[in-house]
Amino acid sequence: MLSQPSDPPDSGTEAPRRGPGDPPADGQIAHLVDGPVDGRSARRERGRAAAVQAVVELFDTGELRPSADVVCRRAGVSSASLFRYFRTLDELYRAAFDEQIARATALARMEDLSDLSTSERIERFVAGRLDVFEVTVGVGRMARARAVDHADIARALGRARARWLRQVLIVFRPELERFDPAEVPARAAAIDAVASFEAWDLLVGARAVSRHAVERSWTTAIAALLAVL
């Protein structure tokens, strides 16, 4: 067994200089190994985020199945890099969908509105939904177009729709509790349908109705369904 070498005596002189052919010192090895790996990871995350953002923007323009070439040009990444980040375009589309769903969920959260009047709650509810739909328009359209033949997207869309309906039941609980319990599901579903993404997209996307006009008509319809007019 080799014995561990003892520490050299302190001679008070500098350590010998390393030549170009000498192996790197321990600290240099750590730098060579750790630094580039961290840099590669950061570049990968930046490239991945750029690709997802590019897809979201393309969805917003109405391009619901952008090609790899189109995504790469918009994101500023190579095709080889794109398919290192995502195995398939479907995986990329799903990443964009998941990111926007998370954003929509955060935007859709409403603080406790119990101290507000019915009209104030209707106003807050309508404005909140419009804010979400305006931010997630492209992914919303993509999800509805692709849910027909993509079971995972159909399931995610179903969960999102269930959350929207629960929001109606929570925000308007005081008003809904005044009705016969047998009536409540239909009234809540009608309010949810009035202020749905599909209704918004038809009004704004196909009919060019202004946000102000949508707010006014939705407010009137919801108030009527809650029998507060």
Is 135 within a domain? yes
Q: pLDDT band for position 41 (50/70/90)?
A: confident
pLDDT of residue 30: 40
> Which of 59, 87, 115 is the C-terminal boundary of a domain?
87
226 has a pLDDT exceeding 80: yes
Whether the pLDDT of residue 143 is over 60: the answer is yes
Same domain, 120 and 80: no
For residue range 155-192, list pLDDT tens digits in order: 989 999 999 999 999 999 999 999 999 999 999 999 99
- Domain assignment of residue 49, given as a range: 40-87
> Higher confidence at residue 229 or residue 80?
80
Asked whether 164 and 104 are in contact (CB, 8 A), the reply is: no
Q: pLDDT (tens digit, 9 = 90+) per residue, 93-113?
A: 989 988 888 888 787 777 778
Comparison of pLDDT for 124 and 7, the residue scoring more: 124
Regarding whether 98 and 75 lie in a shared domain, the answer is no
Give the domain CATH number at 153.
1.10.357
DSSP states of the chain as a string?
-PPPPPPPP--SSPPPPPPTTSPPPHHHHHHHHHHHHHHHHHHHHHHHHHHHHHHHHHHHTT-SS--HHHHHHHHT--HHHHHHH-SSHHHHHHHHHHHHHHHHHHHH-----TTS-HHHHHHHHHHHHHHHHHHSHHHHHHHHHHTTT-HHHHHHHHHHHHHHHHHHHHHTHHHHTTS-TTTHHHHHHHHHHHTSHHHHIIIIIIT---HHHHHHHHHHHHHHHTT--
Q: What is the structure's pLDDT at 229? A: 59
How many domains does the chain fold into?
2
Residues 169 and 221 in one domain: yes
Q: Are residues 174 and 215 located together in one domain of the fold?
A: yes
Q: What percent of the chain has pLDDT over 90?
A: 64
72-98 pLDDT, tens per residue? 999 999 999 999 999 999 999 989 988
For residue 134, give every residue at least 6 positions away whose Cβ sits within 8 Å of its Cβ, in sequence order, or none.
211
Residue 17 lies in a domain: no
* 22 pLDDT higher than 60: no
Residues 118, 190 share a domain: yes
Query: Are residues 54 and 151 part of one domain?
Result: no
Residues 45 and 133 in one domain: no
In a domain, 69, yes or no: yes
Same domain, 105 and 218: yes
- Residue 228 binned pLDDT confidence (cut-offs 50, 70, 90): confident
The answer to whether residue 21 is domain-embedded is no
Band the pLDDT of 3: cuts 50, 70, 90.
very low
Residue 4 has pLDDT above 60, yes or no: no
Instruction: Note whether 187 and 176 are within 8 A (CB).
Output: yes
**pLDDT for residue 27:** 44
